[in-house]
Structure 1
C-alpha cells in the first residue's frame, strides 16, 4: 500500500510522515533525496554549474544560492526542476522495489508537488494534511519563508481546495504527536493493515 501526502506549505507533512514510522511504514522523503543528489549527482550538479552562476561550491550545489534562482523562476529553472524530478523518480522506483522485496505493507511518499506531478500515480491513497493557520505561519517563519517566496511556491501548486478534493483522507497536524498518531491509526485500521 502506497500513501502520498499532500497539503499546503508548512502544514506538517514531514511531521506526519515521521509519525507513520510508528506503524512500520517506510518513508520516501523527497527533500532528503534531493539534498543528497545536490551533493553527488553529476548530471544535476553539471546543469546547475552551467546555468546558475555561483551555485556550485566545492563540487556541491549550495541550496541557499540556488534558492535565489528559484525566485527568478525562468526557463532554466523549469528545465532544472524537470531534471531533478526525473532523477528523483528513478530513486523512488528503487525505493518501492526494495521495500516491496522486504514485504513492507505500508510506504509513505513525502514529495512536494505530489499531485502536480506524475508522482501521484504511484499512490494507492492520498492524505491531505492541514494545520491551523497560526501553526502554519509559525512553521513558515521557522523555515524563513517570506511572503514573496510563499506566493511563488503557491503559484506552482494546485489550490488547497483542489488538493483536499483529490485526497482520500485528511489529517489535522496542528496539535500533538499523539493526536496525529491517533488519526493515522484510524486510517491504517480502515485500510486493514496490521499496525
Structure 2
C-alpha cells in the first residue's frame, strides 16, 4: 500500500513522485492482476464502492472504474476468471431487517459489459475466505465457513445443471400440456 506520506516511484513507472494515481485516494491497495498480467485492479483505500483497473507497468487508470454498489473491505476476496471476462467480489452488506448485522454476498461482474451477472450469491455459513474460478472459467468456487461451494457461471454449465434438475427436459406430453401453442422441440 502507498500511504499518505509515501511517494510512488517515478522513473520507469510513468508517473512522477507523489502524483495522484486514482483520484480521491490517499492510499492504493493492489488487490490482484488480470489473468494475462496486463491489468491490475484495486479498491482504493477500501472505502470506495469501485474497483479501479490500472496498467501494472505505469499504474495509470485503464478504462472506467467498475461500480460495485457498496464499499468493499480491504480483506474481501476478489477473483478474476482465467478467460478475463468475469470478476467476482465478496461484499459485506447490512440487512434491511437488521442494519447492525452483516450478510456476505458475492457479486459476479461481466467486465466487458460492466454489469453484474445474475443475482448476488448469499453466503449462508459465514465470511467468504476464498473466491476462485475454475480453469475453464465455467464455475466460481468459494470457501465460506468450513464449506466449499461451486456455482456454475458459464451458460453451457447452467443449461446442463437445469436439464439435470428437470430430468432431461420436457417430454412431448409435458410440452403439449404446458405449452400447447408452440411446436415441440427437444430442450435438453
Interval containing the TM-score (normalised by the shorter chain) = under 0.3
**Greater strand content:** 2
Which structure exhibits the higher relative contact order, with contacts defined as CA atoms closer than 8 Å and separated by 6 or more residues?
Answer: 1
**Greater helix content:** 1
Q: TM-score, normalised by structure 2?
A: 0.23
Higher-Rg structure is: 2
Q: TM-score, normalised by structure 1?
A: 0.23
